[in-house]
Amino acid sequence: MARTFRRHRQMHALSELNVTNLLDLAFVLLIIFMIATPLINQEQTLPVNLPVESMSPQTPPDHDTKFIAVTIKLDGTYLIEPDTRRPVTERELAARLANLAATSAGAKSQPVIRIRADAQVPYQRV
């Protein structure tokens, strides 16, 4: 008797996926994050006395408010906004700001001074 071996001519697609390894990985990551999260929260909760926010809303400046920008350059020179072509020294800046404060003492709106400094200027000089 002769045997005939038949080959399956059609390859069937594997319809099942083995997700065991994927689930193992997901659970390991979940456990790692569950352990790491409290440690991160403990690190970020150092006791610091932070300032309290005032509940009063800030009033917008009046239309006639004068804005003055003081620019501090890296070489130590100061520029005041209306006349930015001529640098002033620290003494001249102090004198001009004192003069501005004296002249606006009785005025309805106080001038707003904005300080702009180069990123490389040490904070002590600002």
Note the pLDDT of residue 47. 65
Residues in the chain: 126
Sign of the dihedral through C-alpha 38, 44, 47, 53: negative
Q: Give residue 31's pLDDT band: very low, low, confident or very high (50, 70, 90).
A: very high
Greatest pairwise CA separation for the chain in angstroms: 123
Higher per-residue confidence, 59 vs 116: 116
Mean of all residue pLDDT scores within the chain: 79
Note the pLDDT of residue 69. 86
Higher per-residue confidence, 101 vs 63: 101
Res. 8: pLDDT tops 70: no
Note the pLDDT of residue 24. 94
Note the pLDDT of residue 36. 86
Higher per-residue confidence, 87 vs 108: 87
Domain ranges of the chain: 67-125
56-76: average pLDDT: 80
Higher per-residue confidence, 13 vs 34: 34
C-alpha dihedral over 117, 119, 120, 125, to 10 degrees? 30
34-53: average pLDDT: 72
